[in-house]
Amino acid sequence: MRKILMMAAAVLILVFAGAAFADDVIRIGHTVSLTGGASMWGQSEARALDMLVKKINGAGGVLGKKIEFVRYDNRNDGVEAVNVARRLVSDGVVAVIGPAQSGNAIASAPVFERAGIPMVVTTATNPYVTIDQRSGKVRPFAFRPCFIDPFQGTVAARFAVTDLGAKKGAILYDVGSDYGQWLAKYFEEAFVEKGGTIVAKEAFRTDELDYRAQLGKMKDLAPDVIFIPTSQKEAAMAAKQARDLGIGAVLLGTDNWGSPDLIELGGSAIDGGYFVNLADLADPDIQDFVAEYKAAFGEEPVLPNPVMAQDALIMIVEGLKKAGTTDGAKLADALANLKDIKVTSGPLTINPEDHNPLDKPAVIQQVDVANKTFKFVKKYFSVE
């Protein structure tokens, strides 16, 4: 009995000590894929955040307090992402960075909303991350520093029609992913609007490996371009299988392609493919960041996540400064009204109507397998 009492006392002391300690730090949650298919980006994202927070804390922190991350691995899995969100809420964080993937972000948003904790996602580009799909109203606690999919899909379609001269388009997408499904829709709409025709729109299920049945169907229709809004893994396999079937169409992808893995996995089959990205290593705006990251970790950051995560952190820091408090509702209000702040990727203004940035451009990159890089092709600020 005495032993139990003593242990209880020890636990209580630790809890109080912890609470006392927590008073002089600001705890910010980070929900990120450190393992699983998106771990390359997730790990790079975590490194970039650690690098930046060191600088912020070195300069005195925010509101006179140091920032501390509470980081959990969501394994790029919807169920796990919700578990992580609940855990972050019970840990008492004042704001959250992530998740990076639209499906996980959409699943996590209601949890943070009920708890009144602002969430700033990193690269989740689906419109319904910040807009409630049922009510059509903006989610008061969800924000992002990246462009959204209608813009991305339109950029891809416009590039295909005007720059590649494509008339017949085909789409291969993952029917189990919010990201892929919506991008397929936005691309199709914009491609048709620009005067092209979609000759085939084929789906596969998440985790499927073989797309040759779908691609074989496309082959007879001879599309000029195949739009593949998937992650680097599926894109690489689709590219290999398309070339095996003798399909010569230009392959076109989205920001989920942008990992060195794409070249490693896709090999010669993916060479010459184009994709839309949020950031480019050659972008003059991020050269300082790239150099700093290389000096710290001995390798290049896996874009775009590290840049977008830093943008999210800077948004939260600026929001805290503006609100002057860690109160969730006041912080959310400050975030919604951020104007002309300087983030890693450039200037940033948030639109209070939909909590999306007003001025984030999209870049088109081309896969260059021989040199193992992505070549900068062009940059779109708008698609008007």
Partner 1 sequence: MFLQTLITGLSIGGIYALMAVGYSLVFSVLNFSNFAHGAVIMLGAYVGLALATKFSLGFGLVLAGSIAGAGIIAVLNERLAYSSLRRRKAPSLYLMISAMGCAVFLENLVYATIGSRFYAFPEFFGRQVISIGRSSVSLLDVGAFLFALAAILGLHLFITRTRTGIAIRAGVSDMTMCSLMGVDLDRLISIVFLLAGGFAGVAGVFLGIKYLVYPTMGWVTNKAYIAAVIGGLGSLPGALAGGLVLGVVETFVSSYVSSVMRDVFSFTLLIAFLVWRPNGLLGQDSEEKV
Q: Note the residues at the interface with partner 1 (CB under 8 A).
A: 35-37, 39-40, 175, 202-205, 207, 209-214, 216-217, 219-220, 233, 236-237, 240, 243-246, 261, 264-269
Q: Which uninterrupted H or E stretch holds 103? A: helix 102-115
CB closer to partner 1, 118 vs 306: 306
CB closer to partner 1, 179 vs 211: 211
Contact 331, 325 (CB under 8 A): yes
For residue 158, give every residue at least 6 positions away whose Cβ sits within 8 Å of its Cβ, in sequence order, or none: 190, 194, 380, 383
CB closer to partner 1, 266 vs 301: 266
Q: State the nearest-atom distance from the C-beta of 222 to partner 1, in Å.
A: 11
What the block records as the tokens of 172 is 């291969």
CB closer to partner 1, 80 vs 261: 261
What the block records as the tokens of 50 is 């650690």
Q: State the nearest-atom distance from the C-beta of 134 to partner 1, in Å.
A: 25
CB closer to partner 1, 147 vs 211: 211
Q: State the nearest-atom distance from the C-beta of 31 to partner 1, in Å.
A: 17
Contact 212, 204 (CB under 8 A): no
CB closer to partner 1, 221 vs 291: 221
Q: State the nearest-atom distance from the C-beta of 33 to partner 1, in Å.
A: 10
CB closer to partner 1, 244 vs 288: 244
What the block records as the tokens of 370 is 């021989």
Taking the C-alpha atoms of residue 319 and residue 118, their distance in angstroms, rounded to an integer, is 10
Residue 185, φ and ψ in degrees, nearest 5:
-65, -45
Q: Which uninterrupted H or E stretch holds 261? A: helix 260-266
Taking the C-alpha atoms of residue 218 and residue 215, their distance in angstroms, rounded to an integer, is 5
Q: State the nearest-atom distance from the C-beta of 181 to partner 1, in Å.
A: 12
Q: State the nearest-atom distance from the C-beta of 237 to partner 1, in Å.
A: 6
Taking the C-alpha atoms of residue 75 and residue 279, their distance in angstroms, rounded to an integer, is 23
Task: Count CA atoms within 13 Å of residue 235 on its CB side.
Answer: 32
